[in-house]
Amino acid sequence: MTRSTKRLRILVADDHELIRRGIRGVLRARRGWTVVGEAMNGLEAVEKANRLKPDIAILDISMPDLGGLQATRRIRESVPTTQVVVLTMHESDQMVRRVLDAGALGYVLKSDLATHLVKAVKSVSRGKLFLSPRVSDIVMKAFLTTGNQSEPTEHSQARPTLREVEIIRFLAQGKANKEIAAELGITIRTAETHRARIMHKLGLHSLAELIHYAIRHKIFTAPGARE
């Protein structure tokens, strides 16, 4: 099955029926995409994610009983195969960091639902980060202001070398081993070895985790909403 016809099972959680109805309309227009469940609060979203195990969960960040951030953490812990797109009205670098730290890969402004929700779901379903364009600009400016050198946290034992930081940046940008090899003038096998060593050294298990690491440690400047 090609990516363009990939079937996706999607859970939608928002405490406003009109928002859920709008999301359903956007998603159901895509061939092969199915809304398998809806939730009106965070606790219900977690329960339905555990039971239905959707490919994608679209969560409002502000819900009763359990907020979107907490719901994201619980879903990612209990159903790691479910990727999360968070919906919010907040346009801030700090909120983006909190959402990514919670385990989400998608950050979509509610004002962008009609134009960017489909792109977000596509990207996240492939394990790629997606930020609404306005938010991406804000995050990029914040990274440029503070610099983009890696600064391990006080609990971090592993520190990437300068070459590893360079490779982490390329991987977070979605570059394949072949592209990284061409950029650095090394063999594809060497690029593969570097990648495996980095993942093991930092205790990472997926590209999504590597992207989160790169964002948190200011190695990676945030992408725009490109397909």
Domains along the sequence of the chain with CATH: 3-141 (3.40.50.2300), 147-216 (1.10.10.10)
Is the alpha carbon torsion for 77, 78, 81, 87 positive or negative?
Answer: negative
Taking alpha carbons only, the member of 102, 105, 65 closest to residue 207 is: 105
Strand partners, 131: 107
Q: How many residues does this entry show for the chain?
A: 227
CB 69 within 8 A of CB 97: no
> Alpha-carbon distance 206 to 209, whole Å?
5
Residue type at position 148:
N
CB 11 within 8 A of CB 38: yes
Please tell me the predicted confidence (pLDDT) of residue 103: 84
Please tell me the predicted confidence (pLDDT) of residue 152: 41
Please tell me the predicted confidence (pLDDT) of residue 151: 42
- pLDDT by residue (tens digit) across 105-150? 899 999 888 889 999 999 899 878 888 888 776 766 665 455 444 4
Q: Is it the case that residue 2 has pLDDT exceeding 80?
A: no
Taking alpha carbons only, the member of 10, 77, 22 closest to residue 48 is: 10
- pLDDT by residue (tens digit) across 17-74? 999 999 999 998 899 999 999 999 999 999 999 999 999 999 999 999 999 999 999 9
Quick one: which H or E segment has residue 13?
strand 8-13
User: Where does the pLDDT of residue 1 fall: very low under 50, low under 70, confident under 90, or very high at 90 and above?
Assistant: very low
Q: How many other CB atoms are found less than 10 A from the CB of residue 212?
A: 22
> Alpha-carbon distance 49 to 71, whole Å?
10
The single-letter DSSP state of residue 43 is: H
- pLDDT by residue (tens digit) across 59-104? 999 999 999 999 999 999 999 889 999 999 988 777 887 888 888 8
CB 102 within 8 A of CB 220: no
The 3-state DSSP class for residue 63 equals coil
> What integer is the mean pLDDT of 151-172?
74
> Alpha-carbon distance 41 to 67, whole Å?
8
Pairing of strands 56-60, 83-88: parallel
Instruction: Read off the pTM.
Output: 0.70
